[in-house]
Amino acid sequence: MSLNTRMNSFWLSKESNASLRRLLPRLEAKYKDKTDHAEWDMYMGRLKRHFPRLFEHLHALYGTDYDFFYYLENTLSSATEMWLARPPELKALDAMREADPHWYLSHRMVGAMCYVDLFADDIEGLRKHIPYLSEMGITYLHLMPLFKVPQGDNDGGYAISSYREVNSSLGSMEALAELASELRDHGISLVLDFVFNHTSDEHEWAKKALAGDEEYQEFYRIFPNREMPDAYESSMHEVFPDDHPGAFTYSNRMKKWVWTTFNNFQWDLNYENPAVFNHMTEEMLFLANQGVEILRLDAVAFLWKRLGTNSQNLPEAHRIIQAFNAIASIAAPAMVFKSEAIVHPDEVNKYIGLEECPLSYNPQLMALLWDALATRDVRILKRAMEHRFKIPNGCAWVNYVRCHDDIGWVFTNEDIEAMGLDAKQHRRFLNQFYTGRFEGSFARGAPFQENPLTGDARISGTCASLTGLEKGVAANDQTEVDLAIRRILLLHGIIMMIGGIPLIYLGDELGMLNDYDYDKDPAKTGDSRWLHRPHFDWKGAEQRHDTNTVAGRIYKGLLRMIQLRQQNLAFTRAETEFTDTGNPHVFGFFRNHDQYSVLVLGNFSEKEQSLDARRLRHMGMRKTMVDLHAGRTLTATQELIMEPYQLMVLTRAV
């Protein structure tokens, strides 16, 4: 630590202590008598513990504002009021989670995600389908945003008009809170989004801004002319070029330019304004009080903007999240954060930490699984995992094959170039491959936000359509269908076993294909991501126990892997160690748990592959091994033969 940082941290802790000394009596006077004194003391304990880091971040963000102390006090008052309003059931959960703060590292964790309307019509319908989730062993359910949104296009719920109202076609806030509690009774944690980078242009704040209220215009990033927008844009990338060029939208009503990173109806909030931070604190804790256990922080990369940068992943964005984290630790400690940063892998990792986001999507693994499937070569995947899979203790990846968004090729250029490939060409190849334009490709996907100027694109399509099932079924080609099923199971097998929480997009367990009808819906047309957001196929689900059907084969294969994960110590809080299998088509890693370890092998090609048995023995494997996945014992004297796309889970004696 340099002298400067030491002095700075000394100064900070002095000021933070002084602020707390001034604030505590004021909070006590206002709130102490509103609750049980023992409970109050516990709350105070947490406040004292987490206040220093809250102070540090807020001071760095807003300390130069003359009214800093006013906002600091407001924020603590908000937190305290929200904590007082927290239902007893959730305060009990707080206590339970504080006793086992890393509960989400358990191998019992299996995630699923869905749109409430597409899966079950509404919240009531979802309640009825809890048994379906339980049958699969789901313990984590991410419901896509279900709040009040504008009619028509609302980016699948990501343009929120009120964080406190549920979209009336789905149910009510009371129904949502009841659902959270019922899910919890079934061992399922509710995961919801905190869409905090932007609101819809119909949010009350935006409406006031539109009406000319300058106080609310300060809630967003609004400019009188093109001067600043042009200056910012000169160093930025476009995120949704199909919707509008650049990052700004002109409002005829205000005759001003509004920062809109995504769609023109999604207005970016201005976190330089401490009032925004304060209000969003209340919205966040309101969600926590409905029973959310994992909060998915949407679009974290974009929270802060600075001239001359690409306005992504700025240090202040991290501070905002860390400040929210400190507040949640004080007022709703049962809730943990998961980051949604779909950016360069090194930037993704920076959001991960116990005091920021203990959970994070793993977009690099997702992208490289698809890469390995297209190239039949696992070397880039292996290299990238060796460098970036390890994250701090107590944190976990959320590993997924597919989500509701497009597949972006968010791996590093260096990892591609290390293979002697050109990164740009390689991304182009993957786009060609997954849109089915590449000769011989098994995939049936569509481009998303294709940028004709730069040639960039991302990919839409369901897991089944991208792995060849759509093509195989259309051609009535049993071999193709069989290979596609193997590919689906292989990808899911890796996310189950690799370490972290696997996340299944509901419908993928039945092999649901692309929904081309989305184009007929005016609210969805033009956004190809709806291709892979079909209505859940409950007819198909009825066939899930019939292994003569495609749905049944996938479902059964998946259930088996979930069982394997949930009943095997090797998958709990265990180290992942990547290994060179000596065969570029076969991905391999150990999961090591104290006295017990397994070797997971995945063949990413449609051809049989062999592994040298001597090499396996050097890795500590015996000649005779048990494949937990196939449920059989095998002996490898000279070589170990793997079937096309086979996944093996071999026990290693230690």
Q: Which residues bind ligand GLC (CB under 6 A)?
A: 65, 155-156, 158, 195, 218, 262, 272-275, 298-299, 340, 404-405
The CB-of-276 to ligand GLC minimum distance in angstroms stands at 8
CA–CA dist 238, 122 (Å, integer): 34
CA–CA dist 514, 504 (Å, integer): 16
The CB-of-468 to ligand GLC minimum distance in angstroms stands at 26
Handedness of CA 459, 461, 464, 466 (dihedral sign): negative
Residue 199: helix, strand or coil by DSSP? strand
The CB-of-197 to ligand GLC minimum distance in angstroms stands at 7
CA–CA dist 611, 87 (Å, integer): 56
The CB-of-132 to ligand GLC minimum distance in angstroms stands at 24
Residue nearest to ligand GLC (CB): 158
Select 293 or 340, whichever has its Cβ closest to ligand GLC: 340
Give the neighbor-by-neighbor strand order of the sheet with 586-593. 575-579, 586-593, 596-603, 647-652, 624-627, 632-635
Helix axes 363-375, 478-497, angle to 10 degrees: 150
The CB-of-403 to ligand GLC minimum distance in angstroms stands at 7
The CB-of-155 to ligand GLC minimum distance in angstroms stands at 5
CA–CA dist 566, 110 (Å, integer): 8
Select 262 or 304, whichever has its Cβ closest to ligand GLC: 262
Select 338 or 388, whichever has its Cβ closest to ligand GLC: 338
CA–CA dist 197, 308 (Å, integer): 20
The CB-of-113 to ligand GLC minimum distance in angstroms stands at 11
CA–CA dist 195, 300 (Å, integer): 9
Select 222 or 642, whichever has its Cβ closest to ligand GLC: 222
Residue with tokens 């796309």: 645
The CB-of-422 to ligand GLC minimum distance in angstroms stands at 28
Residue 248: helix, strand or coil by DSSP? strand
The CB-of-553 to ligand GLC minimum distance in angstroms stands at 30
Residue 556 CB neighbours (<10 A):
15
Select 273 or 375, whichever has its Cβ closest to ligand GLC: 273
Residue 580: helix, strand or coil by DSSP? coil
Helix axes 37-62, 315-331, angle to 10 degrees: 170
Which residue out of 243, 298, 470, 606 is catalytically annotated?
Answer: 298
Select 63 or 644, whichever has its Cβ closest to ligand GLC: 63
Select 158 or 442, whichever has its Cβ closest to ligand GLC: 158
Is position 340 annotated as part of the catalytic site? yes
Select 251 or 273, whichever has its Cβ closest to ligand GLC: 273
Q: Provide the token pair at 501.
A: 């929480």
Sequence-distant (6+) residues with CB within 8 A of 199 are: 159, 160, 161, 205, 206, 266, 267, 269
Cα angle value 610/612/615 (rounded, 5°): 145
Select 58 or 299, whichever has its Cβ closest to ligand GLC: 299
Pairing mode, strands 596-603 and 586-593: antiparallel
Q: Provide the token pair at 363.
A: 């977009």
Q: Closest Cα to residue 458, out of 490, 386, 410, 494?
A: 410
Pairing mode, strands 336-339 and 294-297: parallel
Select 274 or 602, whichever has its Cβ closest to ligand GLC: 274
Which residue out of 340, 371, 470, 480 is catalytically annotated?
Answer: 340
Is position 298 annotated as part of the catalytic site? yes
Question: Reduced to 3 DSSP states, what percent helix, strand and coil does the chain have, rounded to the nearest 5?
Answer: 45, 20, 35
Residue 449: helix, strand or coil by DSSP? strand
Cβ(368)–Cβ(119) below 8 Å: no
Give the neighbor-by-neighbor strand order of the sheet with 222-223. 222-223, 256-259, 248-251
CA–CA dist 85, 83 (Å, integer): 5
Helix axes 37-62, 3-31, angle to 10 degrees: 140
Cα distances (angstroms) measured from residue 303 to each of 145, 161, 312, 323, 434:
19, 18, 8, 13, 31
Select 274 or 447, whichever has its Cβ closest to ligand GLC: 274
Q: Closest Cα to residue 433, out of 416, 417, 445?
A: 445
Cα distances (angstroms) measured from residue 382 to each of 80, 200, 419, 449, 604:
47, 41, 12, 29, 12
Residue 443 CB neighbours (<10 A):
25
Q: Provide the token pair at 393.
A: 């203790």
Q: Which residues are catalytic?
A: 298, 340
